[in-house]
Amino acid sequence: MKNKLVRDLMISIKQYPSVEENASVFDALVELDKSSRHCSDCQEPYRAVLVRNKNGKIIGKAGQLTFLKALDHNFDDNIRSIDNYNLRHDDMDDVKSSFDFWKETLHEFSTDASAMKISDYMQPITHRIDVKSTLSEAISKLIEYNTISILATDGDDIKGIIRLTDVFNELKRTILNKHNNLI
């Protein structure tokens, strides 16, 4: 893993799905779906879209969990309310049932998605890794940041994105190949 670099495994930023910051949640979902259908058979589907400002600079990303949180209008407020009480995990289900988590129909969610701006729900870009970093360094950063992807940079320029799923698949291939060579 020390011989391979982030740039060997990253997906080029030009290939990765993106939307402008004024796009709706629905528009971002359409872009994610469209790009995932065009993945090759050997590539894992995309699980996020990048968000660009009006100058084309990447300012955030929206992944699957971001979409779910966006569609639950009260998610952040409800979670903060629950967290204030420091309840045991066992009691959480009872308390959550008193909130309106996911009471709307899927049809209502699809209507809401068209009116919601993705920039209101995206995660700002806070973590980066250099394209010349080793995959071992990437593994360490993915674990440290507790994330499924990190933007790969060359200086100040964003060149691609390194995904947990691709790093894991490479690690799995390496371990299995080494084991098979020993047999």
pLDDT digit string, tens, across residues 136-177:
999 999 999 999 999 999 998 999 999 999 999 999 999 998
pTM over 0.85: no
Residue 76 has pLDDT above 70, yes or no: no
Answer CATH for 6-182 from 3.40.605.10, 3.10.580.10, 3.40.630.190, 3.40.50.720: 3.10.580.10
Per-residue pLDDT at 5: 96
How does pLDDT run across 106-119, given as a tens digit for each residue? 556 666 788 889 99
Q: Where are the domains of the chain?
A: 6-182
Residue 91 banded pLDDT, cuts 50, 70, 90: low
Q: What are phi and psi of 169, to 5 degrees?
A: -60, -35
d(CA 44, CA 48): 12
Residue 110 backbone dihedrals phi, psi, to 5 degrees:
-65, -35
Angle between helices 106-115 and 25-37 (to 10 degrees): 100
Characterize 50-76 residue by residue with b for buried, 16 or more Cβ atoms within 10 angstroms of its Cβ, and e for exposed.
bbbeeeeebebbbbeebbebbbbeebe
